[in-house]
Amino acid sequence: MKLKSFVILCLLISVLAACSGAGESGKTSAQDTVTVKHDLGETKVPKHPKKVVVLELGFIDALVDVGIKPVGVADDGKPKFINEKVREEIKGYTSVGTRAQPSFEKIAALKPDLIIADSSRHSGVYDKLSKIAPTIALKNLNADYEDTLDVSKTIAKAVGKEDEMEKKLTEHQEKLDQLQKKFAGQKQSILLIGNTNEAVTVRDENFFTSQLLAKIGYTYGVGDSQKSDADNGESVNIKMTLEQLLEKDPDVMILMTGEKDQVDQDGKRPIEKDPLWKKLNAVKTGNVYEVDRFAWSLRRSIDGANAVIDEIDQHILPAVQKKS
């Protein structure tokens, strides 16, 4: 009888312990999340998520900067869209389709802890993404310079790496400050040129890189434009004829090369043979510089800004000063 009572007592203790454990587990789970405010609301995200999927290229850098490699990236099936060094750092990631139409099946198969979507491009599918995993929606497609800094901070909060991101932001500001000092007293107007095929496309003053150039010390060559024309949703462009471009006549022109640009057998743009092109001040002074469109346009991140700063500091600014 005593043995039977002892067995029953042991069973009761086991049940109570199991119930207590379940309660503690639930409590720990609740404590193990962080509420992140984003463009489409608030989302409870697991602290220190290990499997993150990003649906815009600019979000990759923010993760890598704090030591996290995304398991999935919407890279349009074109890994070369990603900076070569960064591509090596995140080697082994899974492509989850295009940025415009990511694959829900591929994302779900990765069983992510967190999805980072673009608040403009993915607003219509946000609910579907949220059913797969906690999802935050932030600006990248239409992000300006300040937006990009804020987004970096939000991503750092979501993955529990705020201190690391603050260090990155401080380093970026120091780099920007150093280049600004070199510009002190100088007056140079500049324009970012996209395609030059049927019409010349110029990035407006609200674009990420345009604002960065203004921060550095350049006078951006257009202002007060309205965001009405989009180049496949990638960014806002102003279409100009050569006559209109000649009216702006910037001191420096940045030609962002890409797959859509038509070039002749000599690697030149047909527009460069036009007499009006040759009248441009930047052309006459040799201050037209070709850069990588992916680096100067698609890489909207702190690292993207740093890369632009380095190219200006090491190559473009010295060349302009030498010619002036």
Give the residue-averaged pLDDT of 23-45: 76
pLDDT at 261: 74
The CB-side HSE value for 275 (13 A sphere, CA atoms) comes to: 0
Judge contact between 284 and 278, C-beta under 8 A: yes
pLDDT at 30: 55
pLDDT at 101: 96
pLDDT at 194: 86
pLDDT digits (tens, 9 = 90+) for 183-229: 887 889 999 998 887 788 999 999 999 999 999 999 999 987 654 44
Give the residue-averaged pLDDT of 272-288: 94
CATH fold of 33-161: Rossmann fold (3.40.50)
Model confidence at 34: pLDDT above 70: yes
Instruction: Report domain 181-323's class.
Output: alpha beta
Alpha carbon distance 248, 23 (integer Å): 68
Residue 212's nearest CA partner among 131, 77, 310 is 310
230 — pLDDT class (breaks 50, 70, 90): very low
Q: Indicate the angle between helix axes 58-65 and 145-158, nearest 10 degrees.
A: 50
Name the most confidently modeled range: 4-13, 16-25, 308-317: 308-317
Model confidence at 266: pLDDT above 90: no
With 0-12 CB in 10 A as exposed, 13-18 as middle and 19+ as buried, what is 206? middle
Alpha carbon distance 218, 277 (integer Å): 22
Concatenated DSSP letters of 128-196: HHHHHS-EEEE--TT--HHHHHHHHHHHHHHTT-HHHHHHHHHHHHHHHHHHHHHHTT---EEEEEEEE
The model's pTM: 0.85
Q: How many residues can be counted in the chain?
A: 324
Judge contact between 203 and 233, C-beta under 8 A: no
Bridge pairing between strands 288-292 and 252-257? parallel
Q: Indicate the angle between helix axes 302-311 and 145-158, nearest 10 degrees.
A: 140
Domain ranges in the chain with CATH number 3.40.50.1980: 33-161, 181-323
pLDDT digits (tens, 9 = 90+) for 81-134: 999 999 999 999 999 999 999 999 999 999 999 999 999 999 999 999 999 999
Residue 36's nearest CA partner among 165, 156, 142 is 156
